[in-house]
Amino acid sequence: MSQTTKTIEVIHKPEFIQGNEFKFPIFQVLKQDGATYKGAKLPEMDQEEALKIYRTMVFTRVLDERMLAAQRQGRLSFYLQSTGEEGTVVGFAAALDDRDMIMAQYREQGALAYRGFSVDEFMNQLFGNELDYGKGRQMPIHYGSAKLNYMTISSPLATQIPQAAGYAYGQKLEGKGLCTVTVFGEGAASEGDFHAALNMASVHKVPVIFLCRNNGYAISTPSSEQFAADGIAPRALGYSMRAIRVDGNDILAVYLATQAARKIAVEENEPVLIEAMTYRLAAHSSSDDPSGYRSKKEEDVWRAKDPIARMRNWMIKKKWWSEDEEKQLQDSMRQEVLDAMKNAEKRPPPPVESLVTDVYDEVTPQLHEQLEKLKMHVRKYPDAYPKSAGRMTHG
């Protein structure tokens, strides 16, 4: 197709349009004290759904606290928290059809938990034991579940974004009325994959929701050094795509925005971009120390905007929740996480044969040979390798 010949205004002086003149508004429903803004649209959310969302947020925070502690004790090699961003992550997941595909970055454990990934399933992955669906091949937090339509996480940043466009194109061809949601940080939005994906998706009109968690920091780089413009949302306009900026710590706003985005994606086969403004209260990962690059004061400002507290205040106002129930929930979840962690830790790693499976659909002769050589070596020096390496089928 050639360029369309729409009527374009003609000017006779070199007047430039300044990219940063346009500022995206921010969609907000819920105040920190749990009250809602006058005139704000409220979602149709019953008590049961609200409680499920709330419990999931609390669960992931408890999981984060316990697992970070476990990492500090040397029981876990690595961990990534979602602390501070639970509103964005659980909020979007709750607004989807459970059959929609989620292609996340790595800080979205709340979405997986919302879909029913059990605490044991989390632990099996974190400890890479024999029950880990990923067979102990990736670092902790690289979850995946085919059953729950949650694509296995890949470490390289932003690679999932064009993949989501392709996945959604397939959904569109099958006419299933489903969409794909891909999640990434504002740092990942600097990668070429982000731009490639938005362009591909808008040209080919696919039902994909691009969800940016703008959490203020890309590892140690503040967003002020990550992009010069007004955040990520305006970029959608350049690709002729609808975009919304939402308060990512406002569960009701995230929920409503995602619902509306899903409607556009599925009913119109159009991609949509959501930019959720939130804050990474935790470190980037267990290997990072944010005190080296930001002040406690800044963190305190955001701690006061805690998405979990905000939802709790709302539910207490609606008499759907109480402080007593809160304490019970916290205690029981802590216990549940600790018990599951102990069980998962005790389980052995996958057998050594799993080193060579799944490289191809079938094990190649080369890999067979390499495995046999390795087994003979381990048998010769059994004490030099983990005991579990001895768990191999003979022959």
Partner 1 sequence: MAKMNLLQAINNALDIAMAENEKVICFGEDVGVFGGVFRATSHLQEKYGRARCFNTPLVEQGIIGFANGLAAQGHVAVAEIQFADYIFPAFDQIVNESAKYRYRSGNLFDVGGLTIRTPYGGGISGGHYHSQSPEAYFAHTPGLKIVVPRNPYQAKGLLLSSIRDANPVVFFEPKRIYRASVGEVPEEDYELPLGKAEVLKEGTDITLLAWGAQMEYIEKAAEMAEKDGISCEVIDLRTILPWDMDTVVNSVLKTGRLVISHEAPLTGGFAGEIAATIQERCFLYLESPIARVTGLDTPFPLVLEKEYLPDHLKIYEAIKQSVNF
- 190 interacts with partner 1 by CB under 8 A: no
Q: How far is 191 from 203, CA to CA, in rounded Å?
A: 19
- 154 interacts with partner 1 by CB under 8 A: yes
Residue 32 CA, distance from chain mean position: 23
The binder of partner 1 chosen from 364, 373, 377, 382 (CB under 8 A): 364
Considering only the stretches 22-30, 164-172, 321-329, 340-348, report the one whose residues sit in contact with partner 1 under the rule CB under 8 A: 164-172
The yes-or-no answer on residue 391 being catalytic is no
The structure tokens listed for 362 are: 């079938």
**Cα angle at 309 between 119 and 295, to 5 degrees?**
95
8 A C-beta contact, residue 230 and residue 23: yes
The binder of partner 1 chosen from 28, 36, 152, 221 (CB under 8 A): 152
β-pair partners for 102: 150, 181
The binder of partner 1 chosen from 60, 71, 109, 171 (CB under 8 A): 171
**Cα angle at 301 between 298 and 307, to 5 degrees?**
125
Within 8 A by CB and 6+ apart from 191, the residues are: 157, 158, 161
The binder of partner 1 chosen from 63, 200, 276, 337 (CB under 8 A): 200
Residue with Cβ nearer partner 1 (332 or 366): 366
- 271 interacts with partner 1 by CB under 8 A: no
Give the CA count within 13 Å in the CB-facing half-sphere of 178: 17
Q: How far is 110 from 89, CA to CA, in rounded Å?
A: 6
Considering only the stretches 92-100, 141-149, 254-262, 328-336, report the one whose residues sit in contact with partner 1 under the rule CB under 8 A: 141-149
8 A C-beta contact, residue 262 and residue 173: no
**Cα angle at 194 between 209 and 258, to 5 degrees?**
15
Which one-letter DSSP state was computed for residue 35?
-
The binder of partner 1 chosen from 21, 46, 361, 383 (CB under 8 A): 361
The binder of partner 1 chosen from 30, 50, 151, 308 (CB under 8 A): 151
- 329 interacts with partner 1 by CB under 8 A: no
The yes-or-no answer on residue 150 being catalytic is no
Query: Which of these is catalytic: 66, 280, 310, 312?
Result: 280
Query: Which of these is catalytic: 262, 284, 310, 312?
Result: 284
- 374 interacts with partner 1 by CB under 8 A: no
Q: How far is 10 from 139, CA to CA, in rounded Å?
A: 56
Q: How far is the CB of 298 from partner 1 (least distance, A)?
A: 34
The yes-or-no answer on residue 284 being catalytic is yes
User: What is the crossing angle of helices 47-72 and 119-126, to 10°?
Assistant: 30
Q: How far is 120 from 125, CA to CA, in rounded Å?
A: 9
Q: How far is 145 from 133, CA to CA, in rounded Å?
A: 8
8 A C-beta contact, residue 34 and residue 250: no
The binder of partner 1 chosen from 2, 10, 17, 360 (CB under 8 A): 360
Residue with token string 């740092």: 187
- 188 interacts with partner 1 by CB under 8 A: no
Q: How far is the CB of 360 from partner 1 (least distance, A)?
A: 5
Residue with token string 């350049």: 238
Q: How far is the CB of 182 from partner 1 (least distance, A)?
A: 9
Binding mask 95-134 for partner 1 (x = CB under 8 A): ------x-x----------------------------xxx
Q: How far is the CB of 193 from partner 1 (least distance, A)?
A: 6
User: Using CB under 8 A, which residues numbered 330 to 359 contact partner 1?
Assistant: 357-359
- 366 interacts with partner 1 by CB under 8 A: yes
- The binding site for partner 1 (CB under 8 A) comprises 101, 103, 132-135, 137-138, 142, 144-146, 151-152, 154, 156, 159, 161-171, 173, 180, 192-193, 195-197, 199-200, 203-204, 357-361, 364-366
Question: Which amino acids are annotated catalytic?
Answer: 280, 284, 293
